[in-house]
């Protein structure tokens, strides 16, 4: 241990005085120091066993009473106590001592509690002491995850893991989360590797109450032991296991009510009619004769005023969860058995439109035999899900988008009580009833089952030499069914026949892992070695079917199956077959060395072989090396011992790969779907013959994506381990993207999959925490984290250096508005830059005279100034520029926890900044669509506005994709606020260890300038609502909002 006689400076002394003052205030508040009959005054001093310095603010309590004292600036205390009573002396970061009173003087020496540094964290294929870790990792405790009451464990990680950006893809029940570790590194699969007790699985289906810890491996040196699976980082989940001791029973449950957190306000009927008239006048048309329109009024003559968002929202939608667990064990056997149920109804439309139900079972046990020579055990998890959902995220199959754009003059129901149809309406007969459409398309259901399990045997013939073999299985299967009845809400939209879709799929992954580890010491040197192999096998299959009924509908949803459809109809189809089979073989090794816990070096190597690639390219090799230096173990750091407890520097380098692609990407697949050939008329009828064609050219040179990363970091503890700091900086280069090469349409097939494209991510991550205790009863902690990331594409191997985005997305007939390009961030927004609004004709003339182009065919005051970037006098695609992107440059989180005499109060904040959101709630090509209330700030005359243009009718010239669609997405959200109380001391139940009742609010408020429903926007869904350009973020076309949830819960333990 380091020792020092150096005294605190004057500034440290002032801190001492303030701290003791706080202690004394709390002492007075709690009644500490009250005298007792026949007691004597016991005096003493409390010092640190590390440096013999006095401990200021140490708690001295008479055990079993409320009598206590707090040490002063010199570590002295005085307390009333009798001979034979016990003093309990405690100080944060030190081991508590209990001393029996035998006289009037008691001096106490407390030793530092090094347990926090000796705690182990999970690393690849093993565990490691936290103080010896040389990579960039972060750990979350399971209790901290469970108390946030999220249906998805990833939601609980938001704002708590620097460098790990977690964004929901939707607020819909059961929606997935998008996780990006240290910046987006690919235009392909960018999600990290998830391992549950060493088995690949779906973290989103885990019961949070079953989790012991989650460890995130962020740098390549930590993740390289997983090789080709680890390019996007690794998330290791450890589930709870039993412990030696008596059996324990725990119950955790809650019920909650959901409401809309942020309302997006649209124009009401009066405002809408005013805007419609103004738009027509600005376009040289006469205003609407509203009085003559009958379809916009009810039977009493009142104009309809429908708020489609209010109609869609089901305030009060329920969410609930129940978990029950049994744990215990002996010296040789331990067990943990748990079951849980989670349910959530949709905020939009209620459970009729969307819901999510999940049932979890988990059993873990371990048994030691032959005096510890052999250890066997298993982890088994079973999940059953039942869900219903609605399409969101695009402008075509998105009922929320319809709620934003449909006129308020359309009622929900007609005079006959059925959903209103605008067919034959005298005002905009093309306005489809968004609520009716949502309800007609709500008939769908997905049932899914998954099992993740492993059994293991470990043999330890000599101490610390361990052979371990693990056989793991991961199975997933699902059945989907949807039914669409006959309906017609406009002349163009609706459904003329009853339709049924059915599909099912399943996949099974088998993994056999063998490892041999040996840890040993040679004097002050500690060495650890690991070698291993892993064999993997995956097989999947799917079936999809579709059918229609021409003449009659089904009796009800329960009978809507393809087998009950019109057998003779040509649209009745069945497809299916094997899905993405693959095989893999891996070998890996790790060697670690440390000397006196002062110097550390770790090196790993992994070789991965995969059937997903052609011969000659099936093997990839992924090395790493990292080093650490604990400076506080050096003699020259002794002088810092009074304030610096621990300081370690870390350096690492490593390479990892990405094999998260479908199989056979190197081959030219043959397609038979929709490939009929017409060989001309035969007997008056065209002869159609099934055909086939190659849908993509072959490329046998396809290989792995590779990510190389450099990391430098430090870990520090200060002020008796109350203050902790983690700081990391990194550079991550990802290359050899797997992309489809462009090819001329005349080739008659798609381009091959090729390697090309690279991106650099660089950033900084900071984590801070403060843990302290005031007296015996008041405990508190504060944590904060911050991360910065810069993302830039280096090169893309296409003729123009661009991966183009899709067209017809932001509005109908729109050009692409996002892309990946050399020198820009992945998925940046590409469009026109504007310079305000033309205020008068003189300004228009001067603009044109200066050589600037205009987009509008008949430009008028109130129109948008599009910037002529190349000054050629024409506004066209050559003037489009980088307008920003949806990738946050900054992410951060803040939390605090307070505990006092059974009460607890906790809050979690999360936020992001430095990104844009592209909002398109309204299609400008629809002249009669509704507007948001932002349009009330439009230009209506010279000097009235310089941001939102005048309204027009049938002219989209002012609404080409430009920076007018973009808003800053910066936000800070109070994600979770919890107040609880543990009644265990008030209820004398035998064996009761916890009886906590709590109240919680999720998504209490969001501070943001963004005016949409929610600034937390995940990856963008494509045209069909199913495909996804996962490399594009920040696109809001009717995003399913996150609910504000009020929860009452109970934690019970025996």
Using the predicted structure, report yes or no on whether residue 1029 has a pLDDT greater than 80.
no
Determine the structural domain holding residue 71 and report its residue range: 10-113
Predicted confidence at residue 1028, as pLDDT, reads 52
Quote the number of domains for the chain: 1
User: What pLDDT score was predicted for residue 117?
Assistant: 61
User: What's the CA dihedral at 662, 665, 671, 674 to 10 degrees?
Assistant: 60
Q: Would 251 be classed as within a structural domain?
A: no
Which stretch of 224-238, 483-497, 581-595, 1003-1017 has the lowest confidence by average pLDDT? 483-497
CA–CA distance, 722 with 159 (Å, rounded to integer): 21
Among 22-36, 123-137, 286-300, the range with the most confident prediction by mean pLDDT is 286-300
pLDDT at 153: 92
Compute the distance between CA of residue 92 and CA of residue 94 in angstroms, rounded to an integer. Answer: 6
Identify the CATH number of the domain in which residue 86 sits.
2.60.40.1120
Residue 1030 has pLDDT above 80, yes or no: no
Q: Is 570's pLDDT higher than 60? A: no
Is 70 exceeded by the pLDDT of residue 487? yes
Is residue 542 over pLDDT 70? yes
Report the pLDDT value the prediction gives residue 880, as an integer from 0 to 100: 97
Strand partners, 761: 732, 791
pLDDT higher at 679 or 456: 456
Q: Pick the closest to residue 929 from 1018, 824, 830, 1038 (CA basis).
A: 1038
Q: Quick one: average pLDDT of 613-628?
A: 94
Strand partners, 528: 519, 592
pLDDT value, residue 789: 98
Rounded CA-CA distance 210/146 in Å is 8
Q: How confident is the model at residue 554 (pLDDT cuts 50, 70, 90)?
A: low
With residue 270 as reference, give the H or E element that holds it: helix 269-282
* Residue 482 pLDDT > 60: yes
975 closest CA partner among 1010, 953, 956, 1001: 1001
pLDDT classification of 14: cutoffs 50, 70, 90:
very low
DSSP annotation of 832: B
Residue 1019 has pLDDT above 90, yes or no: no
Give the position of tokens 């530092």.
112
Cα separation, 126 vs 120, whole angstroms: 10
Which pLDDT does position 808 carry in this prediction? 86
The answer to the question of residue 52 being in a domain is yes
Is residue 476 within 8 A of residue 504, CB to CB? The reply is: no
Confidence of residue 787 (pLDDT cuts 50, 70, 90): very high
**346 CB contacts (<8 Å, ≥6 apart)?**
172, 173, 314, 317, 353, 354, 355, 388, 389, 390
Band the pLDDT of 168: cuts 50, 70, 90: confident
Q: How many residues are there in the chain? A: 1054
Rounded to 5°, the CA angle 518-519-523 comes to 135
pLDDT exceeding 70 applies to what percent of the chain? 92
Q: Is 716 exposed, middle or buried (0-12, 13-18, 19+ CB in 10 A)?
A: middle
Residue 1033: inside a domain:
no
Tell whether the torsion through CA atoms of 23, 26, 28 and 33 is positive or negative. Answer: negative
pLDDT in tens, 31-75: 433 344 467 899 999 988 777 888 887 888 898 887 888 888 888
Tens of pLDDT, residue by residue over 654-704, are 999 987 778 888 888 888 766 777 666 655 555 567 778 888 888 898 888
Per-residue model confidence (pLDDT) at position 669: 83
pLDDT attached to residue 571: 65
Is pLDDT at 977 greater than 60 in this prediction?
A: yes
Instruction: Give yes or no for residue 520 having a pLDDT over 90.
Output: yes
Query: What tens digit of pLDDT does each residue of 857-881 get?
Result: 889 999 999 999 999 999 999 999 9
Among 504-513, 542-551, 566-575, whose mean pLDDT is lowest? 566-575
Average pLDDT over residues 236-259: 94
pLDDT 10s digits, 69-108: 888 888 899 999 998 899 988 887 778 888 999 888 999 9
pLDDT above 50: residue 758: yes
pLDDT band at 1 (very low <50, low <70, confident <90, very high): very low
- 972 within a domain of the structure (yes/no): no
DSSP string, 545-563: EEEEESS---S-GGG--GG
- pLDDT reported for residue 52: 80
Identify whether 79 is part of a domain: yes
Does residue 88 form part of some domain? yes
* Mean pLDDT lowest among 444-453, 458-467, 793-802, 930-939: 793-802
Arithmetic mean of pLDDT, 510-539: 96
- For residue 169, what pLDDT is reported? 82
Residue 456 lies inside a defined structural domain of this protein: no
* pLDDT of 739 over the 90 cut: no
Share of the chain above pLDDT 90, in %: 63
Band of residue 555 on the pLDDT scale cut at 50, 70, 90: low
The pLDDT value given to residue 396: 79
| pLDDT the model gives residue 987 | 86
pLDDT of 165 > 60? The answer is yes
Dist CA 978 CA 348 (whole Å) = 25
In this prediction, residue 682 carries a pLDDT of 56
**What pLDDT is recorded for position 18?**
46
| pLDDT, mean of residues 748-772 | 91
- Confidence at 145, pLDDT banded by 50, 70, 90: very high
What is the average per-residue pLDDT within 275-288? 96
Token pair of 274, please? Answer: 């005013």
Cα separation, 421 vs 493, whole angstroms: 10
The residue that leads in pLDDT, 555 or 731, is 731
Q: What share of the chain is helix, strand, coil (3-state, %, to 5)?
A: 15, 50, 40
Residues with Cβ within 8 Å of residue 994, at least 6 apart in sequence: 250, 982, 984, 1051, 1052, 1053
Average pLDDT, the chain: 88
Does residue 850 lie in a domain region?
A: no
């Amino acid at each position: 241990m380091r020792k020092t006689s150096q005294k605190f400076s004057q500034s440290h002394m002032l801190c001492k005085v303030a701290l003791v003052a706080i202690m004394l205030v709390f002492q007075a508040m709690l009644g500490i120091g009250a005298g007792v009959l026949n007691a004597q005054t016991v005096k003493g001093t409390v010092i640190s066993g590390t440096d013999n310095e006095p401990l200021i603010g140490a708690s001295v309590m008479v055990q079993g009473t409320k009598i206590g004292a707090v040490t002063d600036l010199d570590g002295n205390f005085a307390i009333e106590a009798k001979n034979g009573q016990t003093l309990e002396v405690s100080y944060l970061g030190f081991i508590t001592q209990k001393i029996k009173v035998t006289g009037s003087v008691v001096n106490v020496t407390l030793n530092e509690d090094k347990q926090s540094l000796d705690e182990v964290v999970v690393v690849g294929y093993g565990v490691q002491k936290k103080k010896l870790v040389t990579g960039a990792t972060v750990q979350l405790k399971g209790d901290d995850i469970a108390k946030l009451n999220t249906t998805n464990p990833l939601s609980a990680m938001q704002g708590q893991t620097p460098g790990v950006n977690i964004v929901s893809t939707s607020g819909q029940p059961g929606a997935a989360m998008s996780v990006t570790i240290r910046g987006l590194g690919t235009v392909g699969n960018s999600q990290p590797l998830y391992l549950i007790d060493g088995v690949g699985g779906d973290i989103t289906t885990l019961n949070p109450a079953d989790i012991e810890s989650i460890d995130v491996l962020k740098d390549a040196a930590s993740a390289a032991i997983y090789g080709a699976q680890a390019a996007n980082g690794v998330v290791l989940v450890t589930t709870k296991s039993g412990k030696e001791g008596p059996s324990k029973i725990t119950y955790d449950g809650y019920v909650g009510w959901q409401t809309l957190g942020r309302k997006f306000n649209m124009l009401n009927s009066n405002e809408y009619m005013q805007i419609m008239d103004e738009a027509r006048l600005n376009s040289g048309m006469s205003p609407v004769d509203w009085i003559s329109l009958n379809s916009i009024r009810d039977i009493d003559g009142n104009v309809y005023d429908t708020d489609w968002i209010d109609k869609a929202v089901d305030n009060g939608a329920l969410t609930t969860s129940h978990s029950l667990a049994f744990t215990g064990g002996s010296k040789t056997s331990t067990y943990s058995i748990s079951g849980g149920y989670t349910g959530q109804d949709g905020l939009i439309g209620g459970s009729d439109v969307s819901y999510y139900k999940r049932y979890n079972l988990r059993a873990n046990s371990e048994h030691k035999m032959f005096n510890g020579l052999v250890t066997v055990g298993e982890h088994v998890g079973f999940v059953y899900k039942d869900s219903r959902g609605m399409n969101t995220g695009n402008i075509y199959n998105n009922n929320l988008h319809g709620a934003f754009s449909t006129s308020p003059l359309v009622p929900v129901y007609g005079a006959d009580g059925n959903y209103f149809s605008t067919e034959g309406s005298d005002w905009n007969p093309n306005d489809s009833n968004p609520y009716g459409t949502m309800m007609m398309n709500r008939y769908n259901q997905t049932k899914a089952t998954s099992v993740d399990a492993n059994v293991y045997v470990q043999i330890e013939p000599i101490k610390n030499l361990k052979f371990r073999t693990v056989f793991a299985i991961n199975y997933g299967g699902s059945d989907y069914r949807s039914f669409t009845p006959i309906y017609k809400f406009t002349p163009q939209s609706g459904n003329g026949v009853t339709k049924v879709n059915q599909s099912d799929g399943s996949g099974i992954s088998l993994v056999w892992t063998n490892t041999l580890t040996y840890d040993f010491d040679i004097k002050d040197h500690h060495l650890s070695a690991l070698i291993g192999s892993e064999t993997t096998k995956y097989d999947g299959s799917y079936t999809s079917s579709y059918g229609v009924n021409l003449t009659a509908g089904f009796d009800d949803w329960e009978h809507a199956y393809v087998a009950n459809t019109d057998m003779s109809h040509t649209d009745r189809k069945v497809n299916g077959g094997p899905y993405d089979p693959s095989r893999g073989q891996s070998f890996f090794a790790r060697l670690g060395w440390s000397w006196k816990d002062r110097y550390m070096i770790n090196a790993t190597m992994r070789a991965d072989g995969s059937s997903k690639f052609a011969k000659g390219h099936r093997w990839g090799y992924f090395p790493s090396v990292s080093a650490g230096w604990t400076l506080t173990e050096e003699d020259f750091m002794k002088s810092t011992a009074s304030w610096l407890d621990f300081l370690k520097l870390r350096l690492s380098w490593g390479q990892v790969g990405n094999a998260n692609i479908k199989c056979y990407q190197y081959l030219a697949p043959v397609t038979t779907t929709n490939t009929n050939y017409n060989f001309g008329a035969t007997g008056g009828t065209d002869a159609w013959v099934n055909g086939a064609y190659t849908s993509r050219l072959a490329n046998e040179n396809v290989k792995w994506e590779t990510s190389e990363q450099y990391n430098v970091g430090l870990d520090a503890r200060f002020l008796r381990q109350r203050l902790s700091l983690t700081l990391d900086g990194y550079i991550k280069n990802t290359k050899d993207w797997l992309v489809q090469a462009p090819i001329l349409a005349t080739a008659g097939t798609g381009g091959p999959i090729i390697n090309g494209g690279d991106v650099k991510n660089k950033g900084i991550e900071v984590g801070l925490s403060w843990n302290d205790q005031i007296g015996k009863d008041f405990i508190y902690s504060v944590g904060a984290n911050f991360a910065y990331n810069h993302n830039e594409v280096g090169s893309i191997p296409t003729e123009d250096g661009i991966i183009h985005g899709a067209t017809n997305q932001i509005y109908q007939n729109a050009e692409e508005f996002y892309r990946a390009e050399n020198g820009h961030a992945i998925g940046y927004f590409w469009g026109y830059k504007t310079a305000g609004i033309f205020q008068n004709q003189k300004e228009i003339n001067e603009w044109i005279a200066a050589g600037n182009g205009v987009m509008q065919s008949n430009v008028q005051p109130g129109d948008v100034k599009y910037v002529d970037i190349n000054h050629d006098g024409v506004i066209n695609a050559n003037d489009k520029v980088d307008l920003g992107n949806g990738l946050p440059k900054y992410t951060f989180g803040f939390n605090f926890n307070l505990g006092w005499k059974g009460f607890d109060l906790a809050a979690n904040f999360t936020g992001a900044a430095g990104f844009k959101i592209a909002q398109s709630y309204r299609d400008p090509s629809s002249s009669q669509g509704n507007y948001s209330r932002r349009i009330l700030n439009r230009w209506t005359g010279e000097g009235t506005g310089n941001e939102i243009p005048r309204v027009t009718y049938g002219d989209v010239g002012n609404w080409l994709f430009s920076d007018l669609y973009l808003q800053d997405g910066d936000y800070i959200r109070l994600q979770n606020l919890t107040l609880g109380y543990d009644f265990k001391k008030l209820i004398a139940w035998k064996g009761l260890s916890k009886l906590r009742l709590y109240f919680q609010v999720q998504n209490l408020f969001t501070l943001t300038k963004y005016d949409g429903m929610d600034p937390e926007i995940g990856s963008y869904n494509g045209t069909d609502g199913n495909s996804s350009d996962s490399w594009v973020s920040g696109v809001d076309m009717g995003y399913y909002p996150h609910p504000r949830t009020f929860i009452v819960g109970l934690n019970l333990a025996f």
